[in-house]
């Protein structure tokens, strides 16, 4: 008797559509899945908190159509006029609030100089994780950051055809490193997936969106907002400058935190790679990408300054949200509506956490 081979199970290349977090994201989700319902109304979007769960889940759903997409969602919806109108309203709500909150942004040179200064007694996520000495907050942070890091560098590529000369050449040089210098196994998104596997997390693209709160989604959405609009090319360059300038010291701390908690070689390797690479990138970005852009288009200086300020604002919001939760011994993740734990708990490790569900619009901006 010949036994039939076991069924082959595969992980879908695209994620399932995340669960809604309010009326607007529910309307968008229903439209993507072909379910009955109306488009989100302008009045409903106007009532959304600009930093809240409903707005940022809706934006994530709409932006993802320009990346890998979702299982069961037709590719043709990427340019659906009704969805684009809804996206424009959501973007206006988010961007107008950012511009108001960043209205006192310093000039570009002053803002870049400030990014280079690290206070000895500073706070932040990497310092917290280095001092915590426990694996569970590291795993939570890796899950939160996976919303963006599993497509690392993709949003910044949108700006390349919108640059010229020195800025374009330097941007492509940095991005070549981000994509592994032509080697798929060295792509930073792949290195991040390896990090997640070392931390006993599911490295599937989009796996932890349901567990990520508005602050993490806003940090990811900001890149897409800047990247998908030519008029915001200066802001995207400012955003890129923040990431490349602040990465090396934070990455060094995170690599050490991974080693202290025995996370595994791939987990530390991801951050080791950024300590070395981003130290070089920082010089290229400041002198050639930012400098080249402003030599060509000096009128974009306020946009670059806005991009720097907006990036710092959303990243600071995320840092406060996660470190406040961890300081209380609580999870920084949302609990899905089905009540399941947002992360698997490895054998022998008791992960602390309140298990509370974070309500829609729980942190109004």
pLDDT on residue 197: 93
Q: Could you tell me the pLDDT band of residue 38, with boundaries at 50, 70 and 90?
A: confident
Half-sphere exposure of 362 (CA within 13 A, CB side): 13
The larger pLDDT score, comparing residue 360 to residue 204, is at: 204
**Same domain (yes/no): 58, 205:** no
| Closest to 216 in 3D by CA, of 147, 155, 153, 150 | 147
Tally the domains of the chain.
Answer: 2
Asked if residue 316 and residue 167 are part of one domain, the reply reads yes
Cα–Cα distance between 345 and 332 in angstroms, integer? 15
Q: Is residue 344 over pLDDT 70?
A: no
- CA gyration radius, the chain: 20
Q: How confident is the model at residue 119 (pLDDT cuts 50, 70, 90)?
A: low
pLDDT digits (tens, 9 = 90+) for 189-221: 999 999 999 999 999 999 999 999 999 999 999
Task: Assess if residue 1 is contained within a domain.
Answer: no
- CA 25 – CA 59 distance, rounded (Å): 8
Q: Are residues 85 and 206 in the same domain?
A: no
Same structural domain, 79 and 150: no
Q: Which domain holds residue 77?
A: 23-101
Whether residue 66 is contained in a domain is answered as yes
- Rounded Cα gap, residues 263 and 130, in angstroms: 13
- Domain boundary residue among 56, 72, 101? 101
pLDDT band at 10 (very low <50, low <70, confident <90, very high): very low
In this structure, is residue 185 part of a structural domain? yes
Q: At what angle do helices 214-227 and 81-101 cross, to 10 degrees?
A: 110
Size of the chain, expressed as the number of residues it contains: 365
Over range 133-143, report the average pLDDT.
92
pLDDT at 121: 61
**Do 146 and 202 touch, CB atoms closer than 8 A?**
no
Residue 243 to residue 68: CA distance in whole angstroms:
23
User: Mean of the pLDDT values across residues 234-262?
Assistant: 93
The pLDDT value given to residue 139: 94
Same domain, 89 and 167: no
User: Quick one: 184 and 281 in the same domain?
Assistant: yes
Report residue 339's pLDDT band, with 50, 70 and 90 as the boundaries. Answer: very low
**DSSP-based three-state secondary structure for 82:** helix
Instruction: Give 315 or 123, the one with higher predicted confidence.
Output: 315
d(CA 244, CA 22): 35
Average pLDDT over residues 114-131: 82
What's this model's pTM, rounded to 2 decimal places? 0.88
Residue-level pLDDT at 118: 72
CB 150 within 8 A of CB 220: no
Taking alpha carbons only, the member of 346, 300, 358, 349 closest to residue 144 is 358
pLDDT band at 99 (very low <50, low <70, confident <90, very high): very high
Per-residue pLDDT at 273: 86
Give the separation between CA 327 and CA 137, rounded to whole angstroms: 10
**Comparing C-alpha atoms, which of 61, 83, 84 is closest to residue 15?**
61
Are 83 and 149 part of one and the same domain? no
Buried b (16+ CB within 10 A) or exposed e, 173-198: ebbebbbbeeeeeebbbbbbbbbbeb
Q: Which of 61, 83, 101 is the last residue of a domain?
A: 101
Q: Can you give the pLDDT at residue 264?
A: 87
CA angle, 344 as apex, 339 and 347 as ends, to 5°?
Answer: 130
pLDDT at residue number 72: 95
| pLDDT band at residue 123 using 50, 70 and 90 as cut-offs | confident
pLDDT score of 116: 85
Report yes or no: 141 and 322 within 8 Å, Cβ to Cβ: yes
Whether 12 is in a domain gets the answer no
The mean pLDDT of 135-154, rounded to a whole number, is: 94
32: left (phi over 0), alpha (psi -120 to 50) or beta: alpha
CATH number at residue 146: 1.20.910.10
- Determine which helix (DSSP H) or strand (DSSP E) holds 246, and give its type and residue range: helix 233-260
pLDDT in tens, 22-34: 999 999 999 999 9
Indicate whether 120 pLDDT > 70: no
| pLDDT category of residue 341 using cuts at 50, 70 and 90 | low
Say if residue 213 is in the same domain as residue 314.
yes
* Local confidence band at 122 (pLDDT 50, 70, 90 cut-offs): low
**What is the pLDDT, as a whole number, of residue 9?**
35
């Amino acid at each position: 008797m010949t036994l039939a081979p076991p069924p082959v199970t595969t992980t879908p290349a695209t994620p399932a559509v995340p669960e809604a977090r309010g009326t607007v994201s529910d309307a968008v989700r229903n439209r993507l899945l072909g379910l009955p319902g109306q488009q989100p109304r302008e009045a409903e979007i106007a009532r959304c908190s600009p930093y809240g769960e409903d707005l940022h889940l809706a934006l994530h759903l709409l932006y993802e159509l320009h990346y890998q997409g979702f299982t069961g969602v037709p590719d043709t919806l990427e340019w659906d006029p009704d969805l684009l109108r809804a996206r424009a309203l959501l973007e206006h709500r988010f961007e107008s609030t950012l511009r108001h909150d960043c209205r006192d942004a310093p000039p570009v040179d002053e803002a870049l100089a400030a990014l280079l200064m690290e206070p000895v007694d500073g706070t932040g996520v990497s310092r917290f994780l280095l001092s915590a000495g426990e694996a569970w907050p590291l795993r939570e942070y890796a899950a939160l950051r996976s919303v963006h890091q599993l497509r690392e560098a993709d949003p910044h590529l949108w700006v390349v055809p919108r640059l010229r000369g020195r800025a374009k050449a330097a941007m492509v040089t940095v991005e070549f490193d981000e994509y592994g210098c032509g080697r798929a196994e060295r792509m930073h998104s792949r290195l991040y997936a390896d990090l997640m596997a070392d931390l006993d997390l599911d490295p599937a693209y989009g796996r932890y969106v349901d567990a990520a709160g508005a602050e993490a989604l806003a940090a990811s959405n900001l890149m897409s907002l800047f990247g998908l609009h030519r008029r915001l090319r200066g802001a995207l360059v400012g955003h890129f400058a923040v990431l490349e300038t602040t990465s090396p010291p934070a990455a060094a701390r995170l690599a050490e935190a991974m080693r202290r908690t025995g996370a595994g070689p791939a987990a530390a390797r991801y951050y080791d790679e950024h300590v070395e690479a981003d130290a070089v990138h920082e010089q290229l970005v400041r002198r050639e990408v930012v400098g080249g852009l402003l030599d060509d288009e000096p009128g974009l200086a306020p946009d670059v300054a806005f991009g720097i300020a907006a990036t710092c604002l959303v990243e600071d919001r995320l840092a406060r949200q996660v470190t406040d939760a961890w300081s209380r011994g609580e999870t920084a993740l949302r609990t899905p509506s089905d009540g399941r734990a947002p992360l698997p708990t490895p054998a022998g490790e008791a992960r602390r956490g309140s298990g509370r569900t974070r309500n829609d619009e729980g942190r109004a901006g």
